[in-house]
Amino acid sequence: MKLWLFFTLALLWLEVQNGVCQQVKRKKEAGENRIRPGRKRVKVRYPKVKEKEAGSKGQSILTQVLDKGRFLRLGESLSLNPGRAMELRCKGTNIGWAYPFYLDTFNDNRLSIKQHERYSQLILTSPSAADTGEYSCWVVLCDGEECTKDGESTSATYIYFTDKDELFVPSAIHFEIIYLRPDKPATVPCRVTNPKINVSLHREVPAEEIAVDGIQVSYNPMKGFIIQNPSPEHKGAYYCKANSTTKTTPQISTKYQLLYVEVPSGPPLVTIEASSNIASGGDIFNVTCTVLGEPEMNVSFSWSYPGQGQRPVSIHDSWRLINRGVGHTTRISQSVMIVDDVETIDYGKYICTTKNKHGQTLVATTVKSHE
């Protein structure tokens, strides 16, 4: 009996030892101390993005100062009541501004701009409907004495000063000429002071309202009526009509004269001609330099001639608009040199140099002695 009990206890002791050894061995196996998937959720931490990288790119640097130290970051457009001073701020240590051009043209003292340490401040006192337009600012980058506009740090907002009595943005011009070209859209600039105003375009003769289809003719309250593909059929006298929400009588805009132009852009197209290419002593002759070009294209003239610096001559420059072809409007610019009481020194080559913003052209003619 004692022998059987001894063997039983011995077998039990061996089993316990085997179990302990297996547990120790399992603890030493690689990977057994890792947390098994699914037993515990681990929160993933993503690296933080700097505030400048997250939101500054493409964000407006232009703000409006409101009451009680509040600021409004400006978007594409803003509507304000006239009469109350407007303050805009643009973030940066060196800022450039743009605003309706007439504020500079008339040296308007209602406008003031001041650069502070971290921002630039624009204040417009007593704004009116005439101040409606685009206000923009940008960061100026300087390398020594050379400064450039930072295109990536630019903001612009079109501001309407909504005046119930002035539906159209007032203009100092009461009759404006608009040139129509076949190669680019034309704009009839009857802008309004409130983007919600209904506006229509009218031709005087024959009297008719122009259909606005959004393709050939469209309307943008910030620009006016846009004619996409101008043709000779669009020339004539026009006006815009705005319907007020508070008054029954519509308001009429400035009148516009649309002229069709078909002159190629480029350096001046010049001709030169002498009243006579053969002259005798004591005669009078003139040399005329003529340029045909775009109606609003300024042309400058300069001369080189045989008696230059030694002989007195008179030079007269002029320009006017003329009709060429079927309703085509062209600008003719001329410079006329008059040589009086011809002497031997006056014989030779007369050179006319013409310049416009596209380049320059030289032409020449020769005046010889009759003998």
Same-domain status, 133 and 211 = no
Average pLDDT over residues 286-295: 91
Task: Give the model's pLDDT for residue 17.
Answer: 55
3-state helix/strand/coil string of the chain: CHHHHHHHHHHHHHHHHHHHHHHHHHHHCCCCCCCCCCCCCCCCCCCCCCHHHHHHCCCCCEEEECHHHCEEECCCEEEECCCCCEEEEEECCCEEEECCCHHHHCCCCCEEEEECCCEEEEEECCCCHHHCEEEEEEEEEEECCEEEEEEEEEEEEEEEECECCECECCCCCCEEEEEEECCECEEECCCECCCCCEEEEEECCCCEECCCCCCCEEEECCCEEEECCCCHHHCEEEEEEEECCCCCCCEECCEEEEEECCCCCCCCEEEEEECCCEECCCCCEEEEEEEEECCCCCCEEEEECCCCCCCCCEEEEEEEEEEECCCEEEEEEEEEEEECCCCHHHCEEEEEEEEECCEEEEEEEEEEECC
Strands 224-227 and 285-293: unpaired
Task: Give the model's pLDDT for residue 10.
Answer: 58
Give the CA count within 13 Å in the CB-facing half-sphere of 253. 30
303: pLDDT strictly greater than 70 = yes
Give 192's contacts (C-beta < 8 A, 6+ positions apart).
160, 167, 168, 169, 199, 221, 242
Report the domain count for the chain. 3
Same-domain status, 274 and 364 = yes
Task: Give the model's pLDDT for residue 109.
Answer: 86
Same-domain status, 149 and 222 = no
Lowest mean pLDDT among 76-85, 167-176, 336-345: 167-176
Residue where a domain terminates, one of 134, 161, 188: 161
Average pLDDT over residues 73-94: 93
Same-domain status, 273 and 363 = yes
Residue 166 falls within a domain, yes or no? no
Residue where a domain terminates, one of 224, 239, 260: 260
Question: What domain range includes position 86?
Answer: 62-161
Residue 33 falls within a domain, yes or no? no
Type of residue found at 11: L
264: pLDDT strictly greater than 80 = no
Same-domain status, 279 and 322 = yes
Same-domain status, 256 and 274 = no
Report pLDDT digits (tens) over 228-260.
999 888 989 999 999 877 777 889 999 999 988
* Confidence at 6, pLDDT banded by 50, 70, 90: low
Residue 9 falls within a domain, yes or no? no
* Confidence at 324, pLDDT banded by 50, 70, 90: low
* Confidence at 173, pLDDT banded by 50, 70, 90: confident
262: pLDDT strictly greater than 50 = yes
Rounded Cα distance, 151 and 80, in Å: 27
Same-domain status, 273 and 356 = yes
Task: Give the model's pLDDT for residue 26.
Answer: 46
CATH number of the structural domain spanning residue 293: 2.60.40.10
Same-domain status, 292 and 220 = no
Name residue, tokens 């057994």: 32
277: pLDDT strictly greater than 70 = yes
31: pLDDT strictly greater than 50 = no
Residue where a domain terminates, one of 113, 131, 161: 161
Residue 180 falls within a domain, yes or no? yes
* Confidence at 344, pLDDT banded by 50, 70, 90: very high
Task: Give the model's pLDDT for residue 330.
Answer: 81
Task: Give the model's pLDDT for residue 253.
Answer: 94
Work out the burial of residue 69: count CB atoms within 10 Å of its CB; fewer than 13 is exposed, 13-18 middle, 19 or more buried. Answer: exposed
* Confidence at 168, pLDDT banded by 50, 70, 90: very high
Contact 134, 157 (CB under 8 A): yes
Task: Give the model's pLDDT for residue 11.
Answer: 56
Global pTM value: 0.64
Contact 259, 178 (CB under 8 A): yes
* Confidence at 7, pLDDT banded by 50, 70, 90: low
